[in-house]
Structure 1
Amino acid sequence: MSAIFSRTSVRKYENKEVEAEKIDAILRAAMAAPSAANQQPWEFYVVKNKETLAALADCSPYGGCVKDAAMAIIPVYRKEMMMPEFANIDMAAATQNILLEVTELGLGAVWIGIAPLADRMENVRKVLQIPDHLSPYAIIPIGYPVEGAEQKDRFDAERVHFI
């Protein structure tokens, strides 16, 4: 899968909307993620409103690029589930699927971590008026990249241990 080796963190976007069919493909990829006990704790907020994107940009010290994105997806997870201790793992898998599908579609994105930092989670909750039974996990700004970037090869054979 070429997206694994070409995905980069994109923080600068063209002033161009993301097509509805691409948004649908991204969300389908997210929900195709593996999930412990198949609990699928995820829900997704899709934000295209520029004022809301600007407010989300202030929810994290690393969120400045959100205001210039065409859109953002905010993955959230349900608190009430059979195995809540696996929610962060499930959400990470869904978020990675989003990033890979974004790359596959010729778009760019970056993962802005929110969970488990309570202050950032509360900031996002307030901006989006997320109900108490859901917890914000990340902010993923998405758009057409202004410039391309090549992924650096991160393979390090010294970190591999054969037994």
Structure 2
Amino acid sequence: MKNSVLIIAFISIMATSCCNNRPQEDFIRTQDAIENIMSRKSVRKYLPKPVEEEKVQILLKAGMAAPSGKDVRPWEFVVVTERSLLDTLAEALPYAKMLRQAPLAIVVCGDTAKSSYWYLDCSAAAENILLAAEALKLGAVWTAAYPYDDRMAVVKKETGLPENILPLCVIPVGYPAIPHSPKNKYDETKIHKNRWR
């Protein structure tokens, strides 16, 4: 009996110790990875509610967890929360008008001095951010800057990016104002076994 009590006490201490050492984001309940991927949707209408700093940090950590060719990690992120800057970007970017409602945006950028294929690595980082937003019950949408010279010029100017840092996309983020449903994009005609047929 005494040994049983000691074993239970040991397990309890170990469980408490393990939980205390886990990253904070582990305590936010999220859905299964496959369910999360299938649930992702583009959200363009947001509540007038700020996104908590800890959730912003999780989004950025998710972005930086992306795969990267030769592990170069050429990404840089600009977190925009200034209302006037969000409004200026909304005015200047043709497909980012929802920035007027968004409480924040993450500009995913790449360092061209580190990698000539920065836009590939940064695309993976951007997708991770979108999936993390879905998991956190936030709404987000990819709005392209790259490869459009005019859009890239606006983002570079307004965010003060150095010459070697190019913007890939601007991701507005916020709490969804209305319910959204994911699109079923599965298409068997896009699948080719062994050879194109």
Query: So what's the TM-score if we normalise by structure 1?
Result: 0.96
Percent identity, aligned pairs only, is: 39
The equivalent residue for 1:126 is: 157
Q: Which amino acid aligns with 1:64?
A: K
Q: Which amino acid aligns with 1:162?
A: K
CA–CA distance in 2 between the matches of 1:59 and 1:39? 32
Could you tell me which residue of structure 2 aligns to residue 17 of structure 1? 50
Residue matched to 1:59? 92
How far apart are residue 59 of structure 1 and its match?
3.2
Unmatched runs of 5 consecutive residues or more in structure 2: 1-32
How many equivalent residue pairs?
161
Q: Which TM-score applies when normalising by structure 2?
A: 0.80
Shift of 1:67: 1.5
Amino acid at match of 1:17: P
Tell me which of the two structures has the higher relative contact order, counting C-alpha pairs closer than 8 angstroms and 6 or more residues apart: 1
- In the alignment, the residues of structure 1 paired with residue 189 and residue 44 of structure 2 have an alpha-carbon distance, to the nearest angstrom, of 31
- Structure 1: runs of 5 or more not aligned: none
Q: Which runs of 4+ in 1 moved over 6 A?
A: none
RMSD (CA atoms): 0.9
1:18 maps to amino acid: V
**Higher share of residues assigned helix:** 2
> Deviations 1:15-73 (Å, cap 9, x if unpaired)?
00000100000000000000111110011000111001001112321110012101000
Aligned partner of 1:35 in structure 2 is 68
Q: 2:127 is matched with which residue? A: 96
Structure of larger gyration radius: 2
